[in-house]
Amino acid sequence: MRSGLIVMLAVVAGLLTPHSFFAHHSSAAYEIGKRVTLKGTVKQWVYSNPHCMLILEVKGEGGEVVVWTNETQAPSVIFAVGYRRDSFKFGDQVTITVEPFKNGEPYGRILGAVLADGKVLGPALSPPPSNAAPQP
Amino acid sequence: MRKPSPLSAVFFAVVAWPVATFAQTGSAGGWPAPDWNKAPITDANRKPAPRRSLVGTWGPAAGPGAGTQASGVQLKPNDGKPENQLPYTPYGMELYRSHKALEGIDAVLPGKDNDPRNLCEPLGVPRYNHYNLRIAQIFQDDYKVVILYSYDNRWRVIWTDGRELPKLVDGSIEIGGEIREQRFFGYSVGRWVDDYTLEVQTVGTMPDDRVWLDSTGRPISEQARVTETFRRVDYDTLVWSETVDDPKVYTKPWETMRLPMRLQDPRTDLMEYYCSPVEQDNYNKLFGNAASGKGAK
C-alpha cells in the first residue's frame, strides 16, 4: 500500500511542470527541483484567489507537530486537474508532495496530492517549462 | 395521459440529440468546462474557416499553460538566453531595472516586488495578451470586434467600421484635433487584410509607470504601437500574433506572440479568475509574507 502511494506521488510529481503551473507568484522563494512528501492532517483548505492554500499538521520524527502551509494555483486553474472546493476537509489524512521554500520554513507549493479516499490529484495541464539559463 | 405519437418522439429525439450528446462530454450538471483534450486538426477533420469571422470561445491549442506566459511573452521568455534579449533603449533598460518582478531571470521574492498587478491594477493592452491567456471569447458585429478576456473578466473593443486610428503625439493622443486621455486598453482599430485575417492597431495606452508588458517586468510605454493579427486558419484554429513598436523603450519593433488558439464549445462555462484585494491580503498573511521573510499568519 505504502509503496503504491509513493509510486503514485512520484508519477504526479514527475508529470508536473511547476514553473508554468504556478504563474501568479514568484518561483524565487522555492528550492526548485527539491521534493518533500508530507503526510498529515488537514487543518484548513483555502479555496480562493490568487492561490489556494492547504494548511497541514504534520507529525515530525520526534512526535512534534509542524504546521505546513502550502500553496497551489487559483481555483479556475486547478479545476482542470481535479481540485475542488471540497477536495480537502478538516481532519482528513492526506499525503502531498511539495517543493519547499529555500529558507527552511515549513512552506511549499503543492506538486501533487493523494486524498483521504486515495484519489490522486494532478498533473497540471501545462507545456514544458522554459530552461533557465545564466544571466549574461 | 395521452400517449405521445411516434412522430413527436422522433421530433424530440432530433431536437434534443446535440444537447444530450454534449452534456455527456461536458461537466456534471450541464455546465461544461473548457476541453483541453480535443483531437488534433488533420486533413480528415479540418473544416473551412468562415469568412470575416473571429467569433468563438478560444483557448490555446497547446493547452491552457501555453497562454500563461509566466516566464515572459510567448516568443521571448525572459530566461537570460541571448536569443531572447530585447532591444532596449537606454531608457527602456533603466525602466526594466526599476521593475521588481516575481517571474523571469531577475525575479525577486514575494513582497519585494512592485508589479502593479499585485495592487489589482488593470493590466492594460498588451499585457492582457500575455497574462494567463487561457480563454478569450470573441464577439463581433458590423462595426466592432469585442474580446472578453477571462482573467479578471475584462473586455476590449476593436473598431472595424473604418474609423481612423488616433494620432500618437508626445505624451498624449489626438482625435480630430482634440487631445484625449490615455487608456488601459488604448484605442484599437481593425481592418480585414483578407477574408480570414484581421489586422489590429492599438495606440494610446497607459504611461510606463502604470503598466508592464509582461510578468517579468519588461516595460512598455504610452508611445507604443501594438499590431495584432488574428488569422483564421480553419474553422477550429485562430492564430493570434502581436508585434510591439515602442521607440521610447525598444530600438526596433519585435514580435511578442504567435499563439495558435483552438475553438472551444460556445457553451463552455468559465470559472472566475480575478484580483481581489481582500483575497490578496489574506494570501499574503497566510503565505506570501513568509516567502519574503516578513513572517506569516
d(CA B267, CA B264) in angstroms, rounded, equals 8
Quote the pLDDT of residue A35: 94
Q: By the 8 A CB rule, do B71 and A20 touch? A: yes
Q: Which of A17, A29, A131 sits opposite B109 (nearest CB)?
A: A29
Measured CA angle at B100 (ends B94, B106), to 5 deg = 85
* CB-based contact B108 A132, cutoff 8 Å: no
Determine the 3-state secondary structure of B175 from DSSP.
strand
Which grid cell is A71?
Answer: 500553496
User: Is B70 close to A71, i.e. CB distance below 8 A?
Assistant: no
Q: What is the per-residue pLDDT for B287?
A: 86
- Please tell me the predicted confidence (pLDDT) of residue B4: 45
Does B219 sit behind a cis peptide bond, omega within 30 degrees of 0 on the bond before it? no
What's the burial of B88, exposed, middle or buried (CB within 10 Å: 0-12/13-18/19+)?
middle
Give, in degrees to the nearest 5, the angle at Cα A24 between A22 and A25. Answer: 85
Among candidates A124, A126, A109, which has minimal Cα distance to A34?
Answer: A109
Closest chain B residue to A23 measured between Cα atoms? B70
The interface residues of chain B toward chain A in range 145-204, judged by CB-CB distance below 8 A, are 150
Distance CA B196, CA B170 (A): 35
Q: Which residue of A has its CA nearest to B100?
A: A26
Contact B202, B126 (CB under 8 A): yes
Instruction: Looking at the complex, report in whole angstroms how far the Cα of residue B262 sits from the nearest Cα belonging to chain A.
Output: 15
ipTM higher than the 0.85 cut:
no
Of B64, B68, B297, the CB nearest to A80: B64
Closest Cβ–Cβ partner in B62, B287, B291 for A53: B287
Q: What is the DSSP letter of B151?
A: B
Q: What is the pLDDT of residue A8?
A: 45
What is the count of structural domains for chain A? Answer: 1
CB contact under 8 Å between B273 and A19, yes or no, is no
**3-state percent breakdown (helix, strand, coil) of chain B, nearest 5:** 20, 30, 50
Structure confidence at residue A20 (pLDDT):
38
Q: Is beta strand A107-114 parallel, antiparallel or unpaired with respect to B136-140?
A: unpaired
Edge-first strand order for the sheet with B172-175 is B167-169, B172-175, B178-180
Q: Cα B129 to the chain's mean position, in Å?
A: 3
**B281: nearest CA partner in chain A:** A50
Cell of B187: 484605442
Supply the range of the domain harboring residue A14. Answer: 2-121
Per-residue pLDDT of chain B (297 residues; tens, 9 = 90+): 444 444 444 433 333 333 333 333 345 678 999 999 999 999 999 999 999 999 999 999 999 899 999 999 999 999 999 999 999 999 999 999 999 999 999 999 877 899 999 999 999 999 999 999 999 999 999 999 999 999 999 999 999 999 999 999 987 899 999 999 999 999 999 999 999 999 999 999 999 999 999 999 999 999 999 999 999 999 999 999 999 999 999 999 999 999 999 999 999 999 999 999 999 999 989 987 777 766 555
Beta-carbon separation of A126 and B280 below 8 A: no
CB A126 to CB B63 under 8 A?
yes
**CATH classification at residue A17:** 2.40.50
Structure-derived torsion over alpha carbons of residues B213, B214, B218, B220, reported in degrees to the nearest 10: 0
Cα distance from A61 to chain B (closest Cα, Å)? 24
CB contact under 8 A, B272 and A76: yes
How far does the CA of residue B2 sit from the closest CA of chain A (Å)?
Answer: 45
Res A11 pLDDT > 50: no
Which helix H or strand E contains A13, and what residues bound it?
Answer: helix A2-15
Instruction: Extract the C-alpha cell encoding B137.
Output: 471569447
**Interchain pair A26, B283: CB under 8 A:** no
**What 3 state SS string does B41-81 have?**
CCCCCCCCCCCCCCCEEEEECCCHHHHCCCCCCCCCCCCCC
| Residue spans of beta strands (DSSP E) within A12-77 | 36-46, 53-59, 65-71
Angle at B184 between CA B180 and CA B186, to 5 degrees: 55
Contact B126, B255 (CB under 8 A): no
User: What number of CA atoms fall less than 13 Å from residue A121's CA on the CB side?
Assistant: 26
Q: Which of A56, A63, A131, A60 is nearest to A97 (CA)?
A: A56
Angle at B183 between CA B181 and CA B186, to 5 degrees: 110
Inter-chain residue contact B293 with A103, CB threshold 8 Å = yes
Given an 8 Å threshold on Cβ–Cβ distance, is B282 in contact with A46? yes
Of residues A19, A23, A27, nearest to B132 (C-beta) = A23
User: Percent helix, strand, coil in chain A (nearest 5)?
Assistant: 20, 35, 50
**Which of A16, A25, A99 has the highest number of chain B CBs within 10 A, making it the mutation to test binding with B?**
A25
Interface of A with B (CB under 8 A): 17, 19-29, 46, 48-51, 53, 55, 69, 71, 74-77, 79-80, 101, 103, 105, 107, 124-127, 129-136
pTM score, whole prediction: 0.83
